[in-house]
Amino acid sequence: MTRPIVGILCNRILVNDRYPVHEGGTMVSEAVAKVSGCMPILIPTDPEFTNVAEVLELCDGFLLPGGRPNVHPSEYGAEETPAHGTFDRGRDAISLPLIRACVERGQPFMGICRGFQEVNVAMGGSLHPEIRDLPGRRNHRMPTEGTLADGFTNRHTVSLTPGGRFARIFGADQVVTNSLHGQGVDIPGPRIVVDGRAEDGTVEAIYVRDAPGFTYSVQWHPEWQADQDAVSRPLFEAFGAAVKDWAMARNGMTQVA
């Protein structure tokens, strides 16, 4: 049986500071394939090559991953400053209308890190350019030294709404996660439900209110060892189930108990 297709939005980077590529992290594809049970495909995020209408028909669901470039502040009514870092305007041009279209269609997506921030911006929210500069906030960035595993080590607790959507997925009101981001949610969009926060108040888990489909998004990186982690695995399993349901409904199929 053909697996449902999950489109993974790419980031535009320069290899060796000279060769432009669209890239996607291997661990994201691995989590989609091994835990969600779907076929991962990379979507080049540039309106010269890709348009939202076509990818909506091509894919059954979408994974909005992290990435070093940030959402451009003009997308949420702010002025660009050095604190906002680097940008990927091609990804902005694809991801933001794609999110809004998925919300209205009920087509499932999951946002991770930058993708989490994109969901908030797409739904009318704004971002802090640098969380660690805010009073009382910790440094949520990846450590500059150590191995890759050190960088993805779980570093803080996320408190979830008791009995809320994320708590039901994880079977707990608190989970321990990694932390690898500089920016974060400032003002949640009007339809954004904040369902989890770190100890310092940083928003870590959201979904879109009254959306007919799966819109769960997290600020941390659940793709790291997703098949082994007690928090990551149920999240990717729930996402995969939603994508499969969408694919079956689109194909006029019903699930056999």
- Of 22, 72, 113, 118, the catalytic one is 113
pLDDT of 256 = 41
Asked whether residue 255 is domain-assigned, the answer is no
Asked whether residue 208 is domain-assigned, the answer is yes
Amino acid at 102: C
* Largest Cα span, the chain: 55
Q: Is 223 a catalytic residue?
A: yes
Q: Is 221 a catalytic residue?
A: yes
Output the six-digit token pair for 118. Answer: 């994109």
Asked whether residue 257 is domain-assigned, the answer is no
Tens digits of residue pLDDT in 104-156:
999 999 999 999 999 999 999 999 988 777 777 776 676 766 787 767 777 88
Domain at 218, CATH number:
3.40.50.880
Q: Per residue, what are the HEC states of 137-159?
A: CCCCCCCCCCCHHHHCCCCEEEE
Which H or E element spans position 249? Answer: helix 232-250
Query: How many domains does one find in the chain?
Result: 1
Asked whether residue 99 is domain-assigned, the answer is yes
Asked whether residue 120 is domain-assigned, the answer is yes
- Domain span including residue 125: 5-250
Tens digits of residue pLDDT in 188-246:
999 999 999 999 899 999 999 999 999 999 999 999 999 999 999 999 999 999 999 99
Tell me, yes or no, if the pTM score tops 0.85.
Answer: yes
Tens digits of residue pLDDT in 3-50:
999 999 999 888 888 898 988 999 999 999 999 999 999 999 999 999
pLDDT of 255 higher than 60: no
Q: Helices 89-105 and 114-122, interaxial angle, to 10°? A: 60
Asked whether residue 256 is domain-assigned, the answer is no
